[in-house]
């Protein structure tokens, strides 16, 4: 594990390195940003750097501390994760007990808590007390995708580091170079995941994601041809994939967004489904108003499902209304 493994976030990396070089290291960091941006990975790399015996701006990867860290058995590094979706007071109290004991190997101890926003109220109050006067050798890193769920008094005590979206070209390059994906599919996943590397990697490992995309595109083709009888079997498929409905609706939204862009520009480099040019060309006869209406129907359906409106009826209504546009 090293900074070279970090994709994007160059300004964050340089800021952390500069803090180490200037010996201006905070005792409490709050890494915040959307899911899948690599916050925990960077937090681990920073922790490894702080524990490295060479005391450089980057981990040396050769000292006893770095080797133990990579083998997940460093005595002065502790990682806390939610248990059944919650971080409870007892887990924070274990951190506090660990803070009270001096480092075993070096002169620092590092604690990293992932999904810190899942601390319940009691846990956050306990955490607040531990942050009031931490021992000089302690460094705490809280990782969160929802800082609004943390007490303002916790946030105010830490050095906030905001993680922005990873440039899409870097996500795409990572998928091609390290995951062995085809360029077209990698570009689609980079766009579809909205710059979330973790999400893109997860989808790249999915056995059926691209099969679902092909099915959605095929379904649109049936609707274009007026084959409304296909809707009933499609509703059954949507019901079977209910846990992934937002994913399916997003695929559909991206397809119609591409139709609009391709119709306006005929520039394949601007569309996300660039590996489906023939199908895009065949369906680009739709006028812009109709495409806009369809996009609005899909967005309304997504909102209705989130509001627990009847699922099957919502999907069925959406598909029939889309078919009516052709």
Residue ranges of the domains in the chain? 3-162, 167-205, 207-324
Determine contact, residues 159/139, Cβ cutoff 8 Å: no
Q: What pLDDT score was predicted for residue 52?
A: 95
pLDDT, residue 115, reads: 93
pLDDT of residue 42: 95
The reply to whether 3-162 and 207-324 are identical in fold is no
Each residue's pLDDT tens digit, 35-62:
888 999 999 999 999 999 999 999 999 9
Are residues 153 and 127 in contact, defined by beta-carbon separation less than 8 angstroms?
A: no
Query: Residue written as tokens 């495409």?
Result: 291
Predicted confidence at residue 326, as pLDDT, reads 67
Low-confidence ranges of the chain (pLDDT < 70): 325-326
Is the distance from CB of 6 to CB of 13 less than 8 angstroms?
A: yes
Extract the tokens encoding 277.
């040019």
Nearest-angstrom CA–CA distance, 114 and 85: 11
CATH architecture group of domain 3-162: 3-Layer(aba) Sandwich (3.40)
Amino acid 202: pLDDT: 87
Note whether 28 and 155 are within 8 A (CB): no
| Closest C-alpha to 127, from 153, 101, 160 | 153
Give per-residue pLDDT as tens, 142-151: 999 988 899 9
At residue 63, the pLDDT reads 94
The encoded tokens of residue 244 equal 């992934």
Span 201-245, pLDDT tens digits: 888 888 788 899 999 988 888 887 777 788 888 889 999 988 899
Can you give 170-225 as a three-state secondary structure string? HHHHHHHHHHCCCHHHHHHHHHHCCCCHHHHHHHHCCCCHHHHHHHHHHHHHHHHC
Q: Is the pTM of this model over 0.95?
A: no
CATH topology of domain 207-324: Zinc Finger, Delta Prime; domain 3 (1.20.272)
Nearest Cα neighbor of 276 from 203, 201, 152, 184 is 184
Close Cβ partners of 264 (under 8 Å, ≥ 6 residues apart) = 288
Q: What is the DSSP string of 229-258?
A: THHHHHHHHHHHTGGGHHHHHHHHHHHHHH
pLDDT of residue 122: 92
C-alpha gyration radius of the chain: 24
């Amino acid at each position: 594990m090293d900074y070279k493994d970090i994709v994007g976030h160059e300004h964050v990396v340089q800021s952390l390195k500069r803090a180490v070089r200037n010996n201006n290291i905070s005792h409490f960091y709050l890494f915040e940003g959307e899911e899948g941006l690599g916050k925990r990975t960077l937090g681990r790399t920073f922790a490894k750097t702080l524990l490295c015996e060479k005391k450089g701006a980057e981990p040396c990867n050769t000292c006893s501390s770095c080797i133990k860290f990579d083998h997940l058995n460093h005595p002065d590094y502790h990682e806390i994760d939610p248990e059944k979706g919650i971080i409870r007071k007892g887990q924070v109290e274990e951190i506090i007990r660990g803070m009270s004991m001096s480092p075993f190997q070096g002169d620092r101890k590092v604690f990293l808590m992932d999904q810190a926003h899942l601390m319940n109220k009691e846990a956050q109050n306990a955490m607040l007390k531990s942050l009031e006067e931490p021992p000089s050798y302690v460094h705490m890193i809280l990782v969160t995708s929802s800082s609004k769920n943390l007490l303002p008094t916790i946030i105010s005590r830490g050095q906030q580091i905001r993680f922005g979206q990873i440039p899409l070209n870097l996500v795409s390059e990572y998928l091609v170079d390290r995951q062995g994906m085809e360029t077209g599919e990698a570009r689609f996943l980079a766009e579809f995941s909205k710059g979330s590397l973790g999400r893109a990697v997860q989808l790249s490992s999915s056995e059926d994601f691209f099969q679902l995309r092909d099915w959605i595109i095929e379904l649109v083709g049936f609707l274009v041809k007026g084959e409304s009888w296909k809707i009933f079997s499609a509703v059954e498929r949507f019901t079977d994939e209910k846990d992934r409905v937002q994913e399916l609706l997003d695929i559909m939204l991206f397809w119609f967004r591409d139709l609009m862009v391709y119709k306006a520009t005929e520039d394949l480099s601007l569309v996300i489904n660039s590996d489906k040019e023939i199908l895009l060309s065949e369906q680009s006869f739709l006028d812009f108003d109709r495409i806009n209406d369809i996009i609005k129907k899909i967005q309304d359906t997504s909102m209705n499902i989130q509001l627990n409106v009847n699922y099957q009826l919502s999907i069925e209504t959406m598909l029939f209304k889309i078919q009516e546009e052709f």
